[in-house]
Amino acid sequence: MKPQRILEELEKFLNTFGIHLEKAMGNVKGGFCRIHEDSVIVINRRIPVEEQLTIIASAIHRHDLDYSCLKPMVREYVDRFKNQ
């Protein structure tokens, strides 16, 4: 599965938890944050998709989100970042 497709799948997955994916520009690399009452993962749209995926996968693990419902290829990708 191509990285862009994995990104799309993860964005849909995050939405099921009420977490919005915000693609920003500037000096931000990215990460999980709260804006007012909203949960948001911010990623810099200018960094490579693979780095964006790393940020998202790390946030999924840090917040112990149950990602067992993901497609096997996406789940395997997220598993790679379990101990980071």
pLDDT tens digits, one per residue of 3-60: 999 999 999 999 999 999 998 888 877 888 888 888 899 999 999 999 999 999 999 9
- Report the 10 Å Cβ neighbour count for 14: 20
pTM above 0.85, yes or no: yes
- Residues 6+ away with beta carbon under 8 Å from 27: none
Specify whether the CB–CB gap between 20 and 14 falls below 8 A: yes
Specify whether the CB–CB gap between 42 and 30 falls below 8 A: yes
Distance CA 84, CA 80 (A): 9
pLDDT tens digits, one per residue of 45-71: 999 999 999 999 999 998 899 999 999
